[in-house]
Amino acid sequence: MHRKLIFFGFVLLLLTGGLISCDTSKVYDSMQDLDSNAWNEKKELVFPVTIKDASVPYKLFYTVRYNNNYPYYNLYINRVMEDSSGKFLNKKLQGMDLFKANTGVPFGAGMGSEKDYVILSEDNYRFPYPGKYTIRLKQYMRQETVGGISAIGFKVEKVVSEK
């Protein structure tokens, strides 16, 4: 009886681990911490992304880790994308709300006053060719340093077609 329980537990552990690790859509996911929970306008965050298949569309996301000390309800991020040779491909200024404008309730999930909020930037982005890309992010709040932000992330997922 004891051996059956151990065997059953082992099989359950393998199945659970397999299900958790089978996220075939995730291509890249990285967070970068900011010094002193603040983002200086000169601080450029660099995310190296490798795309193996340029024939499929991708979703691009930002992740913002922030707290209630963030002084605004929104955030503007300037994104620059370059290929492996450093050739400029595109630039996008994106605004995103971190708090509900009418109530001040923060978006995202987390414990206490710190939240992680994942924001969709592009839902059908096509990279021009397979290879290495560099994503450069800077805050564009027209203030030298914006407090209340402890980390910024960038994530790329393949668009999964539903059949």
pLDDT of 162:
66
pLDDT of 58:
98
pLDDT of 112:
86
Instruction: Show me where the domains of the chain are located.
Output: 25-158
25-158: CATH topology: Jelly Rolls (2.60.120)
- What length is written for the chain? 163
pLDDT of 54:
96
Tens of each residue's pLDDT in the chain, 163 residues = 545 444 444 434 444 444 444 557 999 999 999 999 999 999 999 999 999 999 999 999 999 999 999 999 999 999 999 999 999 999 999 999 999 989 989 999 998 889 999 999 999 999 999 999 999 999 999 999 999 999 999 999 999 876 5
DSSP calls for 85-120:
T--EEEEEEEEEESB-TTT-PBPSB-STT-EEEEEE
